[in-house]
Amino acid sequence: MKIIADIDIPDLEIFLGSGDHLQCTSGREITSDFVRDADILLVRSITKVDSLLLENSDIKFVGSATAGIDHIDINYLRARGIHFSYAPGCNANAVVQYVFSVLCRLRKNWRELCVGIIGCGNIGGRLYRTLKALKVRTVVYDPYLNETLIPDLNSLEKALNCDVISLHTPFTNDGNYPTSGLINEQGIKTLTPGSLLINTSRGGIIDSRALLDRLLKKNDINVALDVWDSEPNIDVSLAQKADIATGHIAGNSYEGKRRAVEILRRSYQIWRRNDLVEYNKIKRASKAIRMKHAIDTINAIILSAYDVREDDLEFRAAVLNDKNVSEAFDRYRRNYRARYEFAHYQVTHAGRFGNDLEVLGFTEPGSSSTKSI
């Protein structure tokens, strides 16, 4: 079979069966001509998979190494009988890590605040359970859930009234609760002065013009944005006003990317009836973080493992200062460094922070894994 794949998907060789031919290219260069005589298509979020791409092709299986699927026309694939697989939850740990790093940078007293979580699926749910275990007050808005599952469920207005608002909804234009423009001009106006808005879901969930207008006129809220309207052609003015600005990398951890590939491979292997080559998983040794001073805090430990400010500074230098923002944005994502999740790190001499570190996902010294939340 002929396999067309985004070159930035790692470990693509694990999809090969006997006699298969693999051809890789940039996700934005995957066109209808490119896939015309292919059988398998493996993509990331930058490739739109719809009738324009596949109409005259022989594609039988589409796999997306992503947690979100707003770039996939599911109805078209079903109508064509094309098997589809993706990787929900693969990036949950990494996104939660990103949110905590933002909190440590912009709200050092985050444990004393109330966090509003909008969307409580794989990622929002992971954040919710972690915050609850750390005894942080939370308000959750998710119209698809009930209070039996989430005791802190409340209205969108209540969630937007919190000290911190973190967005974790998929991007949808239809259904009973479409999320396109969910945080509209009125919602942005109601944000409490001094609040912090974090978006790691999709840019189109926020009315970007209204958000920029408030930042330009009042500049009385803090904003951390990892996702943008019209990526990769992002609004530079909004990015420059954001307190933290990064290029769609919140879920881009070393483990998350390989977790996505493993999820896809399992589905693909069933579809192929196990006609794949064997492969050995690569295990990486944990890295130690040593508590050096009695004044070290949870914040210091989190930032030792992952400091979002480093990504922010690199994004501003590499993308916002480039004349061709679109190309720079893609290049930034393509060349993003290997970033490891909290489970990669063992904290020695954790003392009174031991339980909290376990909740966050750090590995205890001497163990190879950590309890999942």
Residue 202 a catalytic site member: yes
Backbone φ and ψ of 117, nearest 5°: -110, 120
Q: Residue 285 carries which DSSP code? A: -
Q: Residue 73 carries which DSSP code? A: -
The residue from 44, 105, 168, 202 that is catalytic is 202
Q: Residue 79 carries which DSSP code? A: H
- Torsion on CA atoms 293, 297, 299, 305, rounded to nearest 10: 50
Whose structure tokens read 């939850």?
89
Integer-rounded Cα Rg, in Å, for the chain is 21
Instruction: Return the bridge partners of 222, or none.
Output: 196
The residue from 214, 248, 259, 333 that is catalytic is 248
Strand arrangement of the beta sheet that strand 222-225 belongs to: 137-141, 114-118, 164-167, 196-199, 222-225, 244-245
Residue 364 a catalytic site member: no
Residue 248 a catalytic site member: yes
Secondary structure element (H or E) that encloses residue 225, with its range: strand 222-225
Backbone φ and ψ of 290, nearest 5°: -105, 130
The residue from 44, 107, 231, 333 that is catalytic is 231
Judged by DSSP in three states, 283 sits in coil
Judged by DSSP in three states, 268 sits in helix
d(CA 1, CA 32): 18
The residues carrying an active-site annotation are: 202, 231, 248
